[in-house]
A = this chain, B = another copy of it.
Amino acid sequence: MEAQVDAAPVTILGAGAMGTALAAPLTANGRPPRLWGTELDRELLAELRAGREHPRIGHGVDPNVLLFEPEELDEAMAGAGIVVLAISSDGVLDILHRAIPHLRPHHTLVMVTKGFGRDAAGRVALFPPLLRAALPDHLRNEIPIVAVGGPCKANEVAGGFATATVYGSLDDTALALCRATFQTPRYRIQLTSDITGLEIAAAMKNVYAIALGACDGLQEGDGLPRHDLKSAVFTQAVAEMRTVALALGGRAETVTGYAGVGDLQVTGLSGRNRVFGERLGKGERADDALAAMRAAGQTVEGHPAAFLAVGLVDELADDGDLDPEEMPLLGAIENMLRGATEVEEILSEAALPELSGETTGRRASLPG
């Protein structure tokens, strides 16, 4: 695949952590981007404009990065080549609608949003098909969509630390363009056509990170290690992400690679989903933990994602594409979110091999 460098500017929509972080590899490649902020990003933009650090990532941006206020969407997008949607899952479709009047058939849409939404029929869907459905007819099949996953923390990308990412699309030309534009020796990009496996892993890892955090919380509660349980939970989480990916036509290798195993690992090391789970492991009820974190301005993406994942699994089971018995850990997390506090028992039952004594069983991780 030949790299095609497009000299047109890159425009990043969203000046949150990941949107701002992506300015770093682009700048390193001599392509300082345009960074546009939403109404929620005004204070962040003000910090960057003042030459200070972005409050969420601990790094500023190069002076050559052009900053645009919410009212300057037109200027930010005029003449752009690649447009990056760096918006959280609850806002990405709104921002896309605002961007649509400025989109042209030559654009490439890169999406770092991770999670689930619902389609027009109310079914749970991944964001790439939701974005495509939201595009107007004359653009729907013209603009390639590239999804971004993999074990990638915004603060480390911004700091220029070694990072593996995975860019997924059905459009090879768009993938090659993105790699030529974004890749640096420290920010490496693996390409895949398995956008489904990539996005399932990206969305579900936030859910399973709650369970990993809960194991840490159990340990913090009484000072006794729960490494065995945490490792069993990790293994079962990978197995369940693979089960869902396969049911939707994704590939197992995507889930056992950077996008699944890698991203689950990084999400279990830090972040709000892990912290939320930690509180559950220490005995807090889910509603109380969530309220406390909301009061501190912390959103827990894995919470709504868990219920959407349960909905997706139910739909796949109804269609005969998935055996819900293969998803005990997702069920355990749902129970915890609905108020169950016997965290150790619930996670043990869901993540350990079955007691029943068959060599084959519901555990998708079973080596057989």
Residues of B within 8 A of A152 (CB): 228
A191 contacts B359, CB within 8 Å?
A: yes
Tell me, yes or no, whether A185 is within 8 Å of chain B by CB. yes
Q: With A153-B225, A265-B231 known to touch, is A166 a contact of B367 (CB < 8 Å)?
A: yes
- Bound CA–CA A259/B355 (angstroms): 18
* Cβ contact of A257, chosen from B159, B166, B188, B235, cutoff 8 A: B235
Q: Which interface class (under 10, 10 to 19, 20 to 34, 35 or more) fits A?
A: 35 or more
Tell me, yes or no, whether A273 is within 8 Å of chain B by CB. no
**Closest B-chain residue to A237, C-beta based?**
B261
B229 contacts A270, CB within 8 Å?
A: no
B232 contacts A262, CB within 8 Å?
A: yes
Tell me, yes or no, whether A101 is within 8 Å of chain B by CB. no
- Bound CA–CA A94/B262 (angstroms): 40
- Bound CA–CA A137/B173 (angstroms): 64
0/1 interface trace, chain A 147-165, chain B, CB 8 Å (1 if under): 0000111011101011110
B227 contacts A269, CB within 8 Å?
A: yes
A185 contacts B355, CB within 8 Å?
A: yes
Tell me, yes or no, whether A96 is within 8 Å of chain B by CB. no
Residues of B within 8 A of A36 (CB): none
Q: With A186-B348, A190-B367, A256-B256 known to touch, is A224 a contact of B161 (CB < 8 Å)?
A: yes
A-B contact pairs, 19 of them (CB 8 A): A1-B359, A151-B227, A161-B229, A162-B226, A162-B348, A164-B235, A172-B359, A186-B348, A190-B363, A225-B270, A227-B269, A230-B265, A231-B263, A235-B261, A251-B367, A251-B368, A253-B366, A253-B367, A256-B256
